[in-house]
């Protein structure tokens, strides 16, 4: 079973004119899953030292850099309605397996990066001249990049929902 992915981040939006802007930031994502499996420990010759059947929890931590282009549909001093499209590059910085019936923790070292693209529509409520509260529903696709198994590799097309504070420069 997969848990709901959770992300948090900070971003900056640079306005080019009344219609177009570019957003960039940094985010952290946590993905987890739980499954039943057998943990087998072997020595350097491949001889089985220990075999444990148990529930296993897999926890993954990602750091990413999102980049989005925004097009304003409605933009005034109080509200901004827009569409956006872009992508994210993420690096898995931790991939651990916890054998729940024991104190065994197995760590993998993931290679490469996770690439994704997204498109959505959003609304931003201006809290001041340079600060906004935003809500961004989106459709996101995660490419097959040989990343650890997760909800993203099993179901690469997902609906997303972001909300937070945005600094506008």
- pLDDT of res. 12: 87
Q: Report helix, strand and coil shares of the chain as percent, to nearest 5.
A: 0, 75, 25
What would the pLDDT profile of 32-74 be if each residue is shown by its tens digit?
A: 999 999 888 899 998 998 889 999 999 999 999 999 999 999 9
Among 31, 145, 160, 10, residue whose Cα is nearest residue 84: 160
Pairing of strands 105-108, 79-99: antiparallel
Cα torsion 36, 38, 41, 45 to 10°: value is -140
- pLDDT band for position 10 (cuts 50, 70, 90): confident
Neighbours of 70 (CB within 10 A): 23
**Mean of pLDDT values over 97-117:** 94
- Name the pTM for this structure: 0.89
Instruction: Evaluate if residue 11 carries a pLDDT over 90.
Output: no
- pLDDT band for position 16 (cuts 50, 70, 90): very high
- pLDDT band for position 167 (cuts 50, 70, 90): confident
């Amino acid at each position: 079973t997969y848990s709901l992915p959770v992300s948090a981040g900070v971003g900056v939006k640079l306005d080019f004119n009344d219609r177009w802007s570019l957003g960039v930031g940094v985010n952290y994502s946590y993905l987890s899953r739980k499954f039943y499996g057998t943990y087998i420990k072997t020595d350097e010759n491949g001889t089985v030292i220990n075999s444990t059947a148990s529930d296993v929890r897999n926890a993954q931590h990602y750091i990413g850099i999102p980049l989005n282009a925004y097009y304003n549909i409605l933009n005034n001093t109080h509200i901004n309605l827009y569409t956006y499209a872009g992508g994210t590059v993420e690096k898995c910085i931790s991939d651990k397996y916890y054998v729940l019936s024991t104190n065994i923790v197995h760590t993998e070292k993931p290679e490469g990066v996770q690439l994704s693209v997204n498109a959505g529509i959003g609304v931003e409520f201006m809290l001041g001249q340079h600060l906004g509260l935003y809500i961004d529903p989106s459709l996101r696709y995660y490419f097959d990049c040989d990343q650890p198994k997760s909800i993203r590799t099993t179901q690469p097309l997902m609906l997303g929902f972001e909300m937070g504070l945005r600094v506008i420069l």
